[in-house]
Structures are given as structure tokens and as C-alpha cells.
Chains A and B, each alone.
Chain A
């Protein structure tokens, strides 16, 4: 789960990580009042979860209250990469001597948290990694001992700071890691972390990504995710309530399958047959009737779907049960859109016979089912 910049900075403030003074606003009036309160040259920053808001014109400098009003009015009516701007952050503009990069990530291959930092901040870290990988400093954290002060000092030193500045920066690094632990963050990233003219450090931007699997420990964010998640579509939110893994795409072949890998493979196959999948939808390893019914409801609620491809690798589940369940759901829900079903596993012959008798193409190879679904989609107007 991605946090908004203002949420991340609120947390940072509680931990004593220096961030610019800022006030959140949801109307131009509030933004104007915020500017007057800050009473200094400021930035108006659109609060969205998509990356690249700067390039999309979502961050603007302002120098007076009227300008703050006008700029926030235009930002609040903006849509950045499909996401409506609901709030802006009015923030003091700080002059920076240097822009640095500091983040902490889950290092999958070393199975630990790793500090990543660079003297080249303010730009996309992937660009730095491509152009000058030697400029990226990595420090792995031993999870059983925890991040020690001396380690943070070593990192600060590598970023080129000594004496008091080294200590200050090390303390910020410690606090950022404490946030990672306390909030179950899978990423915390300050880019840029600026060094001001007077030599102080301030996290001018801050991003926090929480681990979805740990949200049960953070009820406040679990609650927020249920009600307000601007980077997800309405159907994606609904699917999550039903505990289904569903991702909306922009094609016309609706996909349902059991198991994440199998569904990904189905999507790939649709692509290979020059079709376009409308979604990813995984009902989970054991496919029961209730879950298939919820999945059908969600996938068919997308009006772009012209044909439905259901790919079930039965395994332990009996295919005749699955086939009967699908027919039952089709009848109950009054589904009229064409379906192609691929059903294999225990009792597959019986399952396929039941479906064929109901005029639903039932195939036992994934390839044939995918090809058939793409063919039907191309014929439906």
C-alpha cells in the first residue's frame, strides 16, 4: 500500500526526521490560508500515488497568496495519469545546496533490509543505477542485531559528510529505519533528501510503501485502504474485499483462473494469440463455487469484456463439481456473454461433458482455449 506524501511526512515528523513545514489543503481557499500561515515562498504539491507527478506538472512554486489560490485551483482539478488530485500539500520552499538520495528496501536476494543511497539525488534512482552504478552505496542490515549507530555513520561518511553533519545524517538514517520496522514498510525513500545552505538535512520528498500482508497490524491504514485507494479501480477495490487477486487491464478477454502463475501464463498466451486480456483474476488454488461466483461478477462488471476465459487446473478439486458450479452460477446470474472453459484435473472428462452439453466450449489444452477465446472476441461487435 502506497502512502501519500503528506501521510509519510506526518509519520516522519513524529520520529523527528526533519521535513519542510507544510499544510494539507483540499480547496483553493484552504491552500491560500495555508500559504498565509506559512508566509514564505512555497511549493504546491499534488497529492497523488502515481509516480512522476513532477514531470506531469503536479508540483508548482508560488510566491503570494493569490498565486497559491490559483495554482491549487488548477492542480485540484487535474488528473495525473488517471488519478484525480483530491488534496495538495502547501510546503515551504527550501534552498538546497545538494540533493541526496536515501532509501531502505527489502532486498529479496539477500533476504534482509538494505540501505541504498547516493550523492546524486533528485533524479530517478534507476537512471543513476544505469549511468553510474558506482554512485550507489549499499548497506545490508542484519535483522537480528538491527541497524547500529556506527553503521549509519559509515553510510553518512560514504555520502561525504563528517563531524556534526555525519552525526546528523546518521541519526536521520536510524530514524528512517525505525519507521520501516514500526510500520512494516517495504520501502521508505527520500528523494531528494536535501542539504540546505546552512548545512541541515531535510527530507524534501518522502515515499513510504507499506507491506499489504502486514496491514492487520496497522488498523488505521487497513481502514483507509478499504475506503480510499486512488490508484485502484472500483472493481479492484471490490475484488479485494472478496479476497480475490484482480488487476484491471485494457483488453476485451475476461480471464479467471486458479493460481497466480497459471493466470499470468493465461494472460501471456492471450497476448501470443494477438488478443488482449481485460484483467488478471486469480480465485486461488482450490477453486470453490462461492469464489468463482464472486470472480464472475467482478470480471463481467467490466463492460469491455466480450468473452470470458476460465482456466481451472483442478488438481485436487473435482472438475465435474467445478463444471456444475459454473453452470449453476451462469443460470443464477443470467450470464449471456460467451464463455470458453478450460478444465483439467480429477474427473475432467465428466466435467467437460457437462459443459459441452450446455453449449460451452470446453477444452483441455490452455493453447486451444486461449486461441478460441481470442477468436470469439474478434467476432463479437
Chain B
């Protein structure tokens, strides 16, 4: 994803969709059109709105989509994007039923479509392209790849990296839901192949075992780039959802301790405070 990525916004006429379309355009992202069924023929934030993606594709070159559609309709919107061969598809929407997410991911897998999210702040290649809702000004170009399950905590850590003089190659949120399109392993694999990325900051949290899987992958593949991680939720009680649908300790699984242990064993530098991620990566 970069300067030449042409994207559409699905749900461009809603309040979130239109506000962030404006900010993405200001950042320099090539948002060529919007799609809202029923609002075709209108203009939003200076870009044309279509009823369907197919119509937008007839008028413009379109590669990717970013979705702000409300949860009950988000699956349908994403399926339209997948059927229209858009890739990646970024789903900002929070609160999508997990059954919808499971169906969606299965179809995306068959079409080889990359889904970023749902419940993600999006993806940014600093100064080139932002498909997301993050504050663009805190990111600076550089060599750190950042991958995260959260939103504002990502901004917190990105800002501290930037302040420490550590710019970023790509920052992306995989999403705070239990079922999301990308795993930490998927993103680590992308960063491994990316010549722009020389070290990785990983931000995890309680719930699931994506971090443990990442630790295993780092260990088994003798991952060639340094990784520093921060895991949120050491103080979280079991059985309670901490804001994100996916942030819940079930029984004994998904605790911050097991994640931290696994990552430490794999040679990942653990930051106990968000600000320490930058100091761990500074001397690499």
C-alpha cells in the first residue's frame, strides 16, 4: 500500500465515514469515490458517491476499500468489496457479530483478499497513504513496522517512537475483535519480506492466543528482525470483557502473563510500559 493505492470509502455519507474521508484526503490518500447504497449521484467531501462498487469501478481505477458501514450491514459491504476484487479491505466498524465475521473471513480466504480489521484503526504508510482513522501527524516515515490489536494505544506508542526519532514503515491495527482478518503471524511475515522494515513493534492484549502463536512463529523461524512487544491487560480480571470484544480472559487462557512469557522465551523484548517499546528498539 502506498502513494498509488486508489481507494473507495463504503459508508462515505455517515458521520464517521464523511469526517474521516475528509481527513484521509487531507493526508494525501487517493480516495477516488464513495459508496452508499441509495445515495448514488450525490457528492460527499468533494468526491462522487455511487450506489454500488461496480459503478465506481467503471469510472475510476479502484484497488482498495475502507468500510465505515454500521455493524448490521458491514458483512454485506465487505462481501461487495471482495466480490469486486478490491484488496485490501479495511473494516473500521466495531460491533459486527462474530458469525458474520467467520463467514466473511472464509470467503475472503477463498478469494485471497486481505481483510484488515474489523474494529481496527486501519493502516498507514507515513506520508504516503492512510486508510484509517488514526491521527496522521503522529506518524513519521522510517524503519519500524508497527502491528497492534488496539487503537489509541497504537497512537500512544507510535507517538513515542516518533518522539524517539524512530519513524515507521507501516503501522496497522489487526483489530480488537475475536475474529479478524490478519494475525500477528501474517503481519510479521509481511514485515520480514519488507525491505523498508528493519524492526517490529508489536502491541498485544489479553484474550485469544494470537500473541502466543506469534511467539512460536518467531522462535521456529528464527525471525531475522528484532521485535519489541507491549501486552496490555496485566491488571484485567478473568471473565470480563475489557472494551474490545476480543479482550477477555476465558478460564486460564488469554492472560497477559502467558503471552509475555511466550514472547520473552522467543527472544522478544518485553516493554512493561508503552513508552519502553521505543527504548527497546532504539539501540537496535
Interfacial residues, chain A to chain B (CB-CB below 8 A) = 51, 106, 108-109, 111-113, 126, 142-144, 181, 184, 186, 211-214, 216-217, 245, 247, 249, 257-265, 267-272, 277, 280, 282, 285, 313-316, 344-346, 365-367
Contact = CB atoms under 8 A, between A and B. Distances in A.
Specify the main secondary structure of chain B where it touches its partner. loop
Contact of A111 (B96, B105, B155): B105
B105 to A, nearest CB: 4
Interface string B124-155: 00000000011101100000000011111111
Question: By CB atoms of chain B within 10 A, which of A181, A263, A282 has the most?
Answer: A263
Given A184-B99, A259-B150, A262-B153, 8 more contacts: A213-B95, A259-B153, A261-B153, A261-B176, A261-B205, A313-B152, A344-B159, A367-B275
B97 A109 contact: no
Contacts of A143: 102-103, 106
B135 A142 contact: no
B232 interface: yes
A245 B150 CA distance: 15
B66 to A, nearest CB: 15
Interface of B: 23, 71-72, 95-103, 105-107, 109-110, 121, 133-135, 137-138, 148-156, 159, 176, 178-179, 183, 203, 205-206, 208-210, 213, 230, 232-237, 239-247, 251-253, 256, 272-275
Contact of A267 (B23, B210, B236): B236
Contact of B179 (A51, A111, A280): A111
A143 to B, nearest CB: 5
Specify the main secondary structure of chain A where it touches its partner. mixed
Question: By CB atoms of chain A within 10 A, which of B148, B183, B233 has the most?
Answer: B233
A272 B236 contact: no
A261 B103 contact: no
A243 B133 CA distance: 20
Contact of A184 (B95, B97, B183, B240): B97
A277 B272 CA distance: 17
Question: By CB atoms of chain A within 10 A, which of B103, B109, B152 has the most?
Answer: B152
A109 B208 contact: yes
A316 B243 contact: no
B241 A245 contact: yes
A214 B208 contact: no
A186 B98 contact: yes
Given A259-B151, A285-B151, A264 B236 contact: yes
